[in-house]
Every structure is written in structure tokens, then in C-alpha cells.
A = this chain, B = another copy of it.
Amino acid sequence: SVAVVFLSATRTLWLLMLVSLSVCICVCRASSPQEEDSAMENIVTEKKAEESHRQDSADLLIFILLLTLTILTIWLFKHRRFRFLHETGLAMIYGLLVGVVLRYGIHVPRDVSNVNLNCHVNASPATLLVDVRGKFYEYTLKRVISANEVDDLQDNEMLRKVTFDPEVFFNILLPPIIFHAGYSLKRRHFFRNMGSILAYAFLGTVISCFIIGLLMYGCVMLMKQVGQLGGDFFFTDCLFFGAIVSATDPVTVLAIFNELQVDADLYALLFGESVLNDAVAVVLSSSIVAYQPEGDNSHTFEVMAMLKSFGIFLGVFSGSFALGVATGIVTFTKLRDFQLLETALFFLMSWSTFLLAEACGFTGVVAVLFCGITQAHYTFNNLSPESQDRTKQLFELLNFLAENFIFSYMGLTLFTFQNHVFNPMFIVGAFLAVFLGRAANIYPLSLLLNLGRRNKIRSNFQHMMMFAGLRGAMTFALSIRDTATYARQMMFSTTLLVVFFTVWICGGGTTQMLSCQHIRYFCLLSNLFLVGVDSDQDNSVKGSERRSTKQESAWLFRIWYNFDHNYLKPILTHSGPPPHSHTNECQLKDDDSDLILTDGDINLTYGDITVSTDATGAHTSGGPAFAGATSSEDLDRELTYGDHELVMRGTRLVLPMDDSEPPFTDPHNRLRM
């Protein structure tokens, strides 16, 4: 039948891929000989350059084919509805396989002319001019190599070739991923759970970082006692490890959540946390690095250095934040008639945010994140419908490619990275520390937050958040950025294992964990096209009576919302002042209901708090009802209701199809699958 035809077609494609992969590897092998016969230097140099260009093309081709293979397999998995392995996990497996082949299958010895001639000089300039019989050759500094690494260099040319400059991850691959995360943040639920998300992301990450740092320091001390430590490992290194390993990845679990239509609040909490998490972790780690060189190799605790690091953290974070928001706001285009120009401008402005932040010494990734959030909130509404689709699709594609590239490179690097330091004790300690650090983030904070929240974070949600703390692209990019010292190399190797474990085991077990924790989800097995039903819309209509946020946060939120709605939105978007926006409401609602907070929505959200908009646009809130909402009766009612619902949910894990009408197919979700 059709499935058989598809399968055979896929098999043919696979075979083809494998053949071309081996061809490509052969090309890599074949292109090493160099004729030194001719005396003409120029031709030799030209040939060398050509050779190296061909090499580079072949190397890049390996990755492209790897991605192609991943896509084909993902398609097969999606087609067969096989959900135990996410595409990122798959990309890693393919990366691993190719890594094994490159490591053990092919050995290209480094050719002699490439090696060295160590002329002893006193400086290490960025550019070097070498005089060879009247001809000058310009060399550029690539990296510093410690003395013991020099021998490895000669070892395997092939492995060196497939190793990318770590900065590629930070400057090319990470920005689209982070921007996409910001741009696709589900704003309504995000702002409703803002307080909790900020608590988890900021406080939680710092807690996790310090807990992991302290535990690892204990572990390292123990290792030193037993004599298992082969080099220096300072407390700042431990803290650095804590910082990089605290960045949870929004990708894997959330893709599954999206597919399974898990509770929107849980989704918002996890997604918001892991997105902001990344930003906090990257700034935190750079602050810790800034602390390090203060005392010359002393690595003792210093209050001044500590304060300085803290200042750097605040400065860089707020600078990046301000820059991102500013550029996001500035990009308010009026080029609606010319979609191509509009899309191009949008893309360039987002990119220039990153570059501007980097040029100013801030963190580009953080700036890009907040730029994405701001653009989704304001700029998105100014775009023509066509450009809205275009930009979404463009960043979705970039995100998809970058993500899968990073994960397949991760798999590859387990075998091709030449300075791995696998220390069993450190690894066991790290796994334990990561687990405990995550626990120390989620449970105490949830306890504290539940004191204030009316819509409690239930214990099964907490367990799920604990379980869903995968480590991914950001952790990898941060750990590969600097692998110069022994400590960093050990960290890198361990981090790689942590990522593998969490993506494969935690990522693969998400569905089981959801069932186990009795968290309701819509499993739309019978129709793949219905996967993208907008649960946001669904839940907020159905469960409007049980939605109410914690008082203070609601109060803060309302101030911000009023300001935004009355002043910012009218200025920054084309929707005009509030009276006008009412006329647009219907049109806006079906277009991008997950992106815009309209008055209709906020009425539903508050439930028992009446927010009415009068003709002049000023909001008057029902004060007394507001104050009365805290009564313990309400709380009790809600709790019992919650319990009742929980039991009910347990019995109907897989909801029947008729439960979810698909009129609100969110284009974004649909594309995601």
C-alpha cells in the first residue's frame, strides 16, 4: 500500500545518502596528496588554497548530509508516530555514528609540510608576516596550544578538519535559536505566570549554579585526596560548571509538550523558565569568568572581585536587555506594501541587535532574546500578514537547521574532540549535583511561590518541571567555548554526557512521565493535522472560572498592562489608540491569538476581577472584588476542585477526539510538527 511505497522510497533515499556520505569521505581522503615537484611557489600556494577549499567543502558536506539524514528519519518517525526519540536526540545519534567512523575508520596523517618550524620569538601578534626568500606570507593567529597538545596536533588531520571554531556556535548558530524562542513565546500565559517564571529563571538558576558549584567543589576536593585529579581545578571553575549546566533547554521536551497539548500553564512555566534561564546562565558564566583573573592565580575569595562580578552581571544583563528591547521597539516598519523589503528589514534589525550588543561588550544572545520578545509584542502587529508568515517561517527554518546542526555536532564531538578528560568520579558527582541543583531550584521555589499564587503549582507539575530540565544547545556552546585548561576539558566531556543523558532519557521519557504524573494531555493520535490545536484558546475559554493569578503579581501585571495598552501599543503599533483597537479585535483574534493581549482576553483571564474599558481608554478595576478574592474559602474551593480534577484526569489520559474542536488551528504549531 502507500506506506510500503513510502518506506521503500525512504530506503532508497537512505541508501543514496549513505553512498554519497562515503563518496564524500573518499573525497576527503583522496584530496591530501600535494605535488612539491614544481619549484614555483605561487602555483603551490594556489594549489594548496584550492585543496584546502575542497577539503572544507567536503567537510561541510558531511554535516549537510548528516542533517539531511536526520530530516528523513524524523519524517519517518513522524510518519510512524514514534515519539520516544526527538529529532535532536536523533541528530546526536547520527553525529555519534559519523564521529565513530571519522575517529576509527579514517586516518589521514598530517602531511609534513603543514607542521611547524618553531622560530623562538618574544610576542604572539594577531598577524604574523613570514619572509620566505623575498615573499611574505601573512598568517593569522588561530589559537594557543599548550606544550602537551602539540603532539596531538600531528595525530589526525581529519579530526582537526571537522572541528569548528567554538565561536561559530555563539555567533552564528545560537542567535537564531534564541531569537526564535523569544519570538514564539506564548505571551498570554507567559505574562500571567511572569512572577513565577522570573523567580525560577533568576533566583532558581543562581541557586542551582551555587549548589552545583559547591557540590562539585566537594567532589573535586575528594578527588584531590584520592589522587584522581590531574590538574588545577579552582572553586571558580566549579561555579562556572554550575552556571553552564544550569541552562535548561527549551527545545526537546517542549516540542513533545506542544504535540501532546499539555496544560498551558505548565508549558508557559517550563518554556519561560528555560528561555530566560539561558540568558541568565550565559551572563552568569561570563561574570564568573570575569571574577577569575582578579587575584593572580590565587583564586581565593575576594569581596571586591565578587562585587565586581555582580556588577558585571547586572550591567551586562540590563545592557543587553535594554538594547534588545530598544531595537525591538525601533523596528516599527511602515513598509507594509513591500513584503520582501519588510521581511529583509526585520531580519536585518534582529541581526544588528546581536551585533550591536556584541560590539558594545554586552551579550548578543541575551539582547536577541529580548529583541525577539519585544518584536513579537509590538513589531509583529505592524507587519503585513504576509510578512508575519514569512518572518515566522524564516526563523522557524533557521532555528530548525541551527538546532539540529548543534545537536549532531554534539554527537560528533564525543569522538572527534581530541582532548577529552573522562573522570568517572567527576562524572558521577556531576550527575548527582545536576540532579540536586535542579531539585534545589524547583521544589523550594515552588513552595515559596505557592504561598503567594492562587493558581498553585501542584506537586505533579513540580515533578514534571524537575524531570524536564534538559540540558542542550546553550550548555554545549558555553562548555565548548573554552577548552584550554584541564578543568575546562573535564567539564566539557562531562557536560556532553549530561546533555546526552538528559536528551535521550528525560526527553524520550516525557510521554511516560506525563502519564505517570497524571498530567492531562490531548493525544491526537488519529489525526496528525489536528496536533496544532491552540490549547491556549481552548483552556482560557473552558477554564475561565478557575483562572486567577496571585494578587500582587496581578497588580503589578495590571499596572504594566495598562501602561502598555494605553501608551506603548498605540504609539508602537498601527492598531491606534484603545477605542480603535476594539474594532480590530475580531480580526486580530483569529490571526495571532497567542500573541496579542486584547481586552476580551484579559476579562476572561481575571475571572472574578472585572476590568472594563471605557470609551476614553482608561481602565477602572473592580477594587472590592479584587480585595475579596483572597478569602480562604475561594482557596479551599479551588484546591478541592483541583484535586477532583486531578482524579478525573487520571481516568481519561487519552481524551477522545470530540473533546477538541479544531477551529483554532494555530499556524505556528501546525508548522512546528
Interface set of A (CB-CB < 8 Å, partner B): 6, 9-10, 16, 20, 24, 27, 31, 40-43, 45, 48, 52-54, 57-58, 60-61, 64-65, 67-68, 71-72, 74-75, 78-79, 113-147, 149-150, 153, 167, 171, 293, 296, 330, 334-335, 337-341, 343-345, 347-349, 351-352, 354-356, 358-361, 364, 390, 393-394, 396-397, 400-401, 484, 528-529, 671-673
A356, chain B: closest CB distance, angstroms: 6
In the bound assembly, the distance between CA atoms of A64 and B68 in angstroms comes to 30
In the bound assembly, the distance between CA atoms of A171 and B60 in angstroms comes to 12
Chain B CB within 10 Å, residue with most, of A79, A167, A334, A401: A334
- A124 touches which one: B16, B135, B341 (CB < 8 A)? B135
- Which chain B residues border A345 with CB–CB below 8 Å? 68, 71-72
Contact assessment for B356 and A397 in the assembled complex, using a CB-CB cutoff below 8 Å: no
- Which chain B residues border A144 with CB–CB below 8 Å? 41-42, 45, 135-138
Contact assessment for A355 and B58 in the assembled complex, using a CB-CB cutoff below 8 Å: yes
Given contact pairs A40-B296, A43-B293, a sample of 4 additional A-B residue pairs in the complex whose CB atoms are under 8 Å apart? A42-B144, A117-B121, A135-B146, A340-B672
Q: 21 A-B pairs, CB-CB below 8 angstroms?
A: A27-B359, A53-B171, A57-B355, A57-B359, A71-B345, A115-B129, A117-B125, A118-B130, A119-B130, A137-B141, A137-B143, A137-B144, A138-B141, A138-B142, A139-B142, A340-B397, A340-B400, A340-B673, A343-B393, A344-B401, A394-B394
In the bound assembly, the distance between CA atoms of A171 and B400 in angstroms comes to 22
- A115 touches which one: B125, B133, B390 (CB < 8 A)? B125
A258, chain B: closest CB distance, angstroms: 13
In the bound assembly, the distance between CA atoms of A45 and B132 in angstroms comes to 26
Contact assessment for A128 and B123 in the assembled complex, using a CB-CB cutoff below 8 Å: no
Contact assessment for A348 and B143 in the assembled complex, using a CB-CB cutoff below 8 Å: no
In the bound assembly, the distance between CA atoms of A673 and B342 in angstroms comes to 11
Instruction: Please give me the residue from chain B that is nearest to A127 by CB atom.
Output: B114
A535, chain B: closest CB distance, angstroms: 20
A64, chain B: closest CB distance, angstroms: 4
- Which chain B residues border A529 with CB–CB below 8 Å? 337
- Which chain B residues border A52 with CB–CB below 8 Å? 126
A315, chain B: closest CB distance, angstroms: 16
**With contact pairs A53-B358, A129-B118 given, residues A146 and B136 touching in the complex (Cβ less than 8 Å):** yes
- A330 touches which one: B16, B45, B121, B335 (CB < 8 A)? B16
Instruction: Please give me the residue from chain B that is nearest to A170 by CB atom.
Output: B53
**With contact pairs A9-B334, A335-B75, A401-B344 given, residues A359 and B24 touching in the complex (Cβ less than 8 Å):** yes
- Which chain B residues border A334 with CB–CB below 8 Å? 6, 9-10
In the bound assembly, the distance between CA atoms of A9 and B333 in angstroms comes to 9
In the bound assembly, the distance between CA atoms of A49 and B116 in angstroms comes to 23
- A61 touches which one: B134, B338, B352 (CB < 8 A)? B352
In the bound assembly, the distance between CA atoms of A296 and B41 in angstroms comes to 12
- Which chain B residues border A351 with CB–CB below 8 Å? 64
List 3 A-B pairs, minimum CB-CB distance, nearest first: A119-B119, A139-B139, A57-B358
A138, chain B: closest CB distance, angstroms: 5
Contact assessment for A132 and B122 in the assembled complex, using a CB-CB cutoff below 8 Å: yes
In the bound assembly, the distance between CA atoms of A161 and B134 in angstroms comes to 25
**With contact pairs A68-B352, A337-B528 given, residues A397 and B129 touching in the complex (Cβ less than 8 Å):** no
A197, chain B: closest CB distance, angstroms: 27
A530, chain B: closest CB distance, angstroms: 12
Instruction: Please give me the residue from chain B that is nearest to A112 by CB atom.
Output: B125
- Which chain B residues border A130 with CB–CB below 8 Å? 118-119, 121, 124, 128
- Which chain B residues border A142 with CB–CB below 8 Å? 127, 138-140
- Which chain B residues border A74 with CB–CB below 8 Å? 338, 341
- Which chain B residues border A68 with CB–CB below 8 Å? 345, 348-349, 352
In the bound assembly, the distance between CA atoms of A41 and B244 in angstroms comes to 25
Contact assessment for B134 and A147 in the assembled complex, using a CB-CB cutoff below 8 Å: yes
- Which chain B residues border A45 with CB–CB below 8 Å? 124, 141, 144
In the bound assembly, the distance between CA atoms of A359 and B57 in angstroms comes to 5
- Which chain B residues border A397 with CB–CB below 8 Å? 340, 343-344, 347, 390, 394
In the bound assembly, the distance between CA atoms of A347 and B400 in angstroms comes to 12
Contact assessment for B41 and A124 in the assembled complex, using a CB-CB cutoff below 8 Å: yes
A480, chain B: closest CB distance, angstroms: 15
Contact assessment for A127 and B140 in the assembled complex, using a CB-CB cutoff below 8 Å: no
- A360 touches which one: B27, B146, B354 (CB < 8 A)? B27
A46, chain B: closest CB distance, angstroms: 8
Contact assessment for B293 and A40 in the assembled complex, using a CB-CB cutoff below 8 Å: yes
A170, chain B: closest CB distance, angstroms: 9
Contact assessment for B136 and A139 in the assembled complex, using a CB-CB cutoff below 8 Å: no
A24, chain B: closest CB distance, angstroms: 7
In the bound assembly, the distance between CA atoms of A301 and B15 in angstroms comes to 48
- Which chain B residues border A131 with CB–CB below 8 Å? 118-121
A327, chain B: closest CB distance, angstroms: 9
Contact assessment for B121 and A671 in the assembled complex, using a CB-CB cutoff below 8 Å: no
- A355 touches which one: B64, B128, B356, B394 (CB < 8 A)? B64
Instruction: Please give me the residue from chain B that is nearest to A9 by CB atom.
Output: B334
- Which chain B residues border A396 with CB–CB below 8 Å? 340
In the bound assembly, the distance between CA atoms of A659 and B237 in angstroms comes to 75
Instruction: Please give me the residue from chain B that is nearest to A78 by CB atom.
Output: B338
In the bound assembly, the distance between CA atoms of A16 and B167 in angstroms comes to 30
Contact assessment for B113 and A123 in the assembled complex, using a CB-CB cutoff below 8 Å: yes
Contact assessment for B136 and A147 in the assembled complex, using a CB-CB cutoff below 8 Å: yes
A368, chain B: closest CB distance, angstroms: 13
A133, chain B: closest CB distance, angstroms: 8
